[in-house]
Structure 1
Amino acid sequence: MNSVIKSEIRALRQNAHVAYIGSVNENGFPQIKGMLVLEHASMKTQYFSTNTSSKRVKQFLNNPKASVYYSDETRNKYKGALFTGTMEVCTDHDTKALLWRDGFEIYYPKGIDDEDYCVYKFTAETVNYYHGLSNLTLPIDDL
């Protein structure tokens, strides 16, 4: 695969402030939610923080199939990367500590171990890249 395309996919993820997370509800319909990107370390494994009481936690526990979408629409040519894989809901201290930030106490008064704080661990299997007239899907391990 072209190293330029690989670099563009990595740049979309690494420069993102928001990702769009896809889940499936109890009726089989797709649900999309924008979430803040708090880490940029890996293409295959991606983490997001949320409330344990959120409806998407229940959706991912019932059906772990998920997608994460990053885009750059600030340039003349739109770019997007759709990662497809599975989502795990993590409630252990070590995983929650990965994304904990000063100020989260406003939402989670008990700190990292607040029962309403959890972390999504997304494991990508494929990525579909869009740019101009290009549309390329590849296994995540090729990235």
Structure 2
Amino acid sequence: MLKDPEKTIGNLIDKQSVSFISSTDGDGFPNTKAMRPPRKREGIRTFYFTTNTSSMRVAQYRSNPKACIYFCDKRFFRGVMLKGTIEILEDGLNKEMIWQNGDTIYYPEGVTDPDYCVLRFTASSGRYYSNFKSEDFAIEG
């Protein structure tokens, strides 16, 4: 049993250079893509990612906000899947909060680029895999 899920899982997440994020398409099939790690996280419940407002993924989340994110430590073959929902944030405060120098390569008009938005993922539960065992856990709000 995980002694301190927040610490164990938080450390795993912070060391990864890639995250995997999933949505559901109009036919009910999962769609997963690799993304850069979250720009910000609040514990293991809330995560912030950047993406293009015009993307297929944003359209899918607008239609069905159910989502999951996955982080894998390939060196030790451990991983964590978090299930929850995604909100599309287009307000200036959230966009500025996670903006980084160099983002103009993706969003040429800067932090106010209409094609720049923030995905806020809020986890409700998860599943952790390590040492040939999996464990489900709830995430408190």
**TM-score, length-scaled by structure 2:** 0.92
Residue in 1 that maps onto 2:90: 91
Report sequence identity in percent.
37
Deviation at 1:134, TM superposition (A): 1.7
Asked if 1:57 corresponds to 2:46, the answer is no
Residue in 2 that maps onto 1:124: 123
Query: Is the 8 Å Cα contact of residues 48 and 119 (structure 2) preserved in structure 1?
Result: yes
Residue in 2 that maps onto 1:66: 67
Cα gap change, 1:111/1:130 in structure 2, threshold over 3 Å: closer, same or farther? same
Report the Cα distance in structure 2 between the residues aligned to 1:120 and 1:131, rounded to whole angstroms.
28
**TM superposition outliers: structure 1 runs of 4+ over 6 Å:** none
Deviation at 1:7, TM superposition (A): 3.1
Query: Is the 8 Å Cα contact of residues 6 and 44 (structure 2) preserved in structure 1?
Result: no
Residue in 1 that maps onto 2:103: 104
Equivalent position amino acid for 1:135 in 2: S
Equivalent position amino acid for 2:67 in 1: A
Report the Cα distance in structure 1 between the residues aligned to 2:5 and 2:139, rounded to whole angstroms.
13
Deviation at 1:135, TM superposition (A): 0.9
